[in-house]
Each structure stands twice: as structure tokens, then as C-alpha cells.
Amino acid sequence: MSHQPVHLAVYNSLADWEPGHATAFLARAGYPIRTVGPTLDPVTSIGGLRIQPDLALDDVRPEDSSLLILPGADLWDTSDDLAPFARKAREFLDAGVPVAAICGGTAGLAREGLLDDRDHTSAVSFYLAATGYKGGDRYVDADAVTDGNLVTAGPTEPVAFAREIFRLLGVYEGEVLDAWYRLFHDSDAEAYAVLQGAAE
């Protein structure tokens, strides 16, 4: 089955570890992964990985996408350089196309006003409160939260972040989704047997 691409935002100081589980298994499920930079110029992650974006942000349209992923990055909190990515997230959500943000990406959404009326989570509540946003009463102390077409998670929860993305897109469901999470979050050997059985 062919799917619309998943668009992964990439920028300098990108937190390498945050989107990896999601993108790897989305790719295995038939979703092409396309990296989206501020421009087509290469960017460098926190881990020193040099990434050549497939697309520039201005060229990404919600109707051509299954999902926009906004990973964390130091730049979310040290400048306004990444604000255009939050504005693009608004465009996606307004069009009914899912957005998934983790760590600093959630702060970007908060500054854009996208968390004021949606349940959400992040690193800790006071991290988002520092943005001055109006959604503090919708903050949920959980590993990851889905509200409609928006997934949010904190920096220590890349596996839960991926779980919510898979659930939202219907990549894995029910017992298989639970087993995937238990395998990669808890190293549960019994979960591996469930996944192997589902693959046969």
C-alpha cells in the first residue's frame, strides 16, 4: 500500500534520538520519509549528523503529506528561527493533517497558540508555562498525548511518541501496538513473540 510521505522537520541542533523510532517504523510500513529544512542547505544535529534536506519548508503542502513531525532542538528556545515550522504546523492542523511534536517542538507550538485549546504534554508543565501560552489547564502529565490530529511528547519519551503516531495513522493497533511499545520501551521478550506472530 502506498502512502503520502511523512515530513520530518530538520534544523540545526535537531535532537537526533527523538524521531528515530517513529520514522524507522513508518518507513517499514510504507510511508516515504522526506526531510524538510528551513532551506535546502544542510543542517547539523546535536549529535553532529549532517543532514541534506529533501525539501525546503516553503515547498511543503499539507495535501501532499500524511504527517509533519517536529523534533526538539536547542533553537526552539534560543531564537525565533524555527517559528516558521510552528506556523507550518498550524497550516497542517487547519487542513486536518496530523502534526507530531516532541520536546522543544511542543514549545514552538505553544508559542504559536496551538496548545491553548488542545490536550498536550511536554518535558514538564513549567517548561511550556515559560512560553507565556494560555493552555496550561490543558497540560497532561503523561508520556505522550494525542488530541485530535496532534501528538505531543517530552524528550525522554521517543517510544511513546512513536506509539501515538502509529495509533493515529493506523500503522499498528490493539495488541500489536501494545506489544511494539512493550518491546521497545520495556525490553519485554514476550512482546517480541506477539510481533513475530503478527508479521507471519
- Which of the residues are catalytic? 103
CA 59 to chain centre: 19
Q: Which residues contact 191 (CB under 8 A, 6 or more apart)?
A: 178, 179, 180, 181, 182, 183
Cell of 156: 525522554
What are 144-148's contacts with CB under 8 Å, separation 24+? Answer: 145/119, 145/120, 145/121, 147/118, 147/119, 147/120, 148/118
Q: What does each C-alpha distance from 186 to 11, 50, 156, 178, 183 come to in angstroms? A: 30, 31, 14, 11, 6
Cell of 168: 493515529
